[in-house]
Amino acid sequence: MFSLKNKSAVITGGGSGIGKAISLLFAQQGANVHIIELNKEAGASTVDEIKSAGGTAFSYTCDVSKQQNVVDLFNSIGGIDILINNAGIAHIGNVETTGQDDFDRVMNVNVKGAYNCLFAAVPLMKANNGGVILNTASIAASVGITDRFAYSTSKGAIHAMTLSVARDYLQHNIRCNCISPARIHTPFVDGFIAQNYAGREEEIFEKLSKSQPIGRMGKPSEVASLALYLCSDEAGFVTGCDYPIDGGFITLNN
């Protein structure tokens, strides 16, 4: 079950965190993995890890907010069976403390970047008689998170994009879903805590962990396992859905 043998998977932000975990697992399951990363070294490192384990992977340095660059890159890759729209950035602030430049920066990467990849991938999938798209949304698309105005807005857009694409391309055998993680323990989380709470790292990590009712942060590998199911043939009847993976945050945190 859950074989991706001979399938071509494009994964944005595949050099670290959730994107890296998805890249590793998809390669393990037989996919030819194409990682799109702004961080050249991170992308190359993931590719090396995949190849060392006997998998097939390639890395490309690209800013997903630049549409023509994205289109050219996708066309050079060719036939695409799976797109994982995972690249994204965060921002802390409410509407009063979120400046225009900050807002534009988040929208350019999180929203326009996903749109650009969809714009480039969908015609290739249509020509390939179908495909699967998985977008990374967030619990912030469904519930209010303190001081995440721009980020929440961007993830709400991802959720809406998912529904729109799922509806528009039913007849082309293209499925589109999204996942909504809560806090996942990635290098980004460790860096955020170190930068903003120097000397209190252990205390803050514990606090953030316990904000999930299950009592801990999620693991990137757990998100990757959900992504694998949704992109596999076993999920062929699933489209237009959002899947929270949140340790009970949305429904039990009251």
Active site residues: 151
Q: Look at residues 152, 81, 76 and name the one whose alpha carbon lies nearest to residue 111.
A: 152
Q: From CA 225, how far away is CA 247, in angstroms rounded?
A: 15
Q: 3-class SS at 133?
A: strand
What is the DSSP secondary-structure string of 207-227? HHHHTSTTSS-B-HHHHHHHH
Task: Look at the block and give the residue holding tokens 């999930």.
Answer: 212
Give the Cβ contact number of residue 249 at 10 Å.
22
Beta strands 32-37; 242-245: pairing state: unpaired
Classify residue 185 by its DSSP letter: -
Contact predicate 84/134, CB 8 Å? yes
CA distances from 134 to 99, 176, 210, 223 (A): 30, 6, 28, 12
